Structure 1
Amino acid sequence: MRIFEERRQKMLTISPRLCKFLIETTKTADIEAAFSKIFRDYIDLKLKYLNETIKYFEEKWGMDFESFRKKTKSEYSYEVEKDFWEWEEAESLKKYYMEIKNSWM
């Protein structure tokens, strides 16, 4: 299997044993299809986790992230700060993984 980098070509070698395992595990016809399936499943799992994290914070605070950002702009408690950073990270990563998913699939 070959993977191309932007400025230079590199060939990635995958052992026949690993190829066979990936094809059998994913029940696909070839290694490219196996990697596509694994990648798609990985993105879907990441998005599921991020959506659950976002839902947790929305339920905890009773609002969406933008409303939380505005409401707590001048609040400086440990809980607010901690939740803000975790929630912001989940929102940012969700956007990032959605962009990858939309460009890939």
Structure 2
Amino acid sequence: MPTLSPDFGAHLLKATRSRDLDEAFEKVLSEYLELKIAALQETTGRLEEKWGMEFSTFRRRLADDDLLANAYSYDVEQDFWEWEDAEHLKTHYQQVQIEWT
């Protein structure tokens, strides 16, 4: 079973204003997951607004070469990779959040 150093445990308790390490860790992990999901949602929302569609539609239209922009341009490719990464990570963190709660 993993252990925490006394210094780390003390800082965790102080930062969360908790009396119990389990409670402190739960608080930190829950807040971390919420922040990560919110940040990734901002990314996906920004890209949905930029392209006027959801990622699944963007991916399909990109594969069909049905975008107004050049599908092989650097900007389109960068948006695709950023969007795909954000979608995968958001799903991952949401699943961890479901399992945690």
Higher relative contact order (CA 8 A, sep 6+): 2
Tell me the SS of whatever aligns to 2:95. helix
The yes-or-no answer on 1:83 pairing with 2:79 is yes
Higher normalized strand content (fraction of residues): 1
Structure 1 spans left out of the alignment, 5+ residues: 1-10
The yes-or-no answer on 1:92 pairing with 2:82 is no
Q: Number of paired residues?
A: 95
User: Counterpart of 1:62?
Assistant: 52
The yes-or-no answer on 1:19 pairing with 2:9 is yes
- Please, which moves more after superposition, 71-80 or 86-95? 71-80
2-structure distance, mates of 1:64, 1:76: 19
The yes-or-no answer on 1:30 pairing with 2:26 is no
Question: What percentage of aligned pairs have identical amino acids?
Answer: 44
CA root-mean-square deviation:
1.2
Tell me the SS of whatever aligns to 2:50. helix
1-structure distance, mates of 2:34, 2:52: 26
TM-score, structure 2 as length reference = 0.86
The yes-or-no answer on 1:101 pairing with 2:97 is yes
TM-score, structure 1 as length reference = 0.83
Structure 2 spans left out of the alignment, 5+ residues: 66-70
- Cα drift, residue 54 of structure 1: 0.3
Q: Give, as a single letter, the amino acid of the residue that structure 1 aligns with 2:6.
A: P
